[in-house]
Amino acid sequence: MPRFARLQIILVVIICLFLVAPVEAKKTPKKQNKSVAPKAKAVTPAIKSIVLMDMTTGKILQSRDANLAMQPASITKVLSLYIVYDTVYAGKARWSDRVRISPRAARTGGTRMYLEPNTEATLGELVTGMAVVSANDASVAVAEHLGGTVEAFVEQMNIQAKKLGMTQSCFKTPNGLPAKGQYTTATDIVKLSTAYLERFPASLTIHSMQKYTYHGITQPNRNRLLGHYPGVDGLKTGYVGKAGWHIAVTAKHGDTRLLAVLMGANNPKFRNKEAARLLDKGFAMVDGKKAVVMEKTLPAGRLL
């Protein structure tokens, strides 16, 4: 082969090597990337906030993220009920008072007593509906009756909340239906529930009712632990999409009364199960005894 031809071949080979080398260099990082482990996704807690309290001594037995702010949902009704009881006990209202049902109250959505506009119900009937079936329409009717307007009643709620030391709460509705700027914490719900039950212990007569019938319509209590967990006699549940499923539940064994507040559960079944488990733990800590609860006896039901 002529010398010139050999030189041409060598030159072609050298040029090819320079062209291929960068391509291979670019491919190498891609192979390395495949070996990198994917980032782990953050796990959302099944319950956002928890407080367990021995109401007999006032001692907090367990707490987690208790100051996390979220929508209060229907637990708001405990504050509305506090004002109603306070008004009645002060002699400014009676359970037998007739309350006019406005169109605004009647058309309120969510859980209801199915009140008809321009009819009447007694204050006692409406309060029972608020406590047992979590009636939003009854809450509006009561707010209008005692406050003159819903807005004026809500102002009273926030004034009362401050008096109770609820420094991490702001209420915009009397029933807990979603509203911009409305929030509370498990810590504040403990303060509210404790004050409510200590001042108005007779309210448990209503809160412990497992069902309520009004105008031929029977509805179960939204607190599904009633009748399924030993000693449970209150208090209130709630649900709103952005916050999740809440419960403030109280139970008494002997001389010991516990209060468990769980907020932001993923679903009602898990909320009920964890509330029962928390009460079990509390009674075991205080009394050294455990109240055994069969999980299958706790109905899930998409109820507040």
Task: Please identify every residue annotated as catalytic.
Answer: 74, 77, 134
Is beta strand 211-214 parallel, antiparallel or unpaired with respect to 217-220? antiparallel
Cis ω before 225 (30° cut-off from 0): no
Alpha-carbon distance values, 41 to 34, 38, 44, 48, 110 (Å): 18, 9, 9, 18, 34
Question: Which class for 12: exposed (0-12), middle (13-18), buried (19 or more C-beta within 10 A)?
Answer: exposed
- Closest residue by Cα to residue 235 from 218, 253, 247: 247
For the chain, give the longest Cα–Cα distance: 123
b/e code 184-223 from CB counts within 10 Å (16+ = b): bbbbbbbbbbbbbbeebeebbebbbbeebebeeeebbbbb
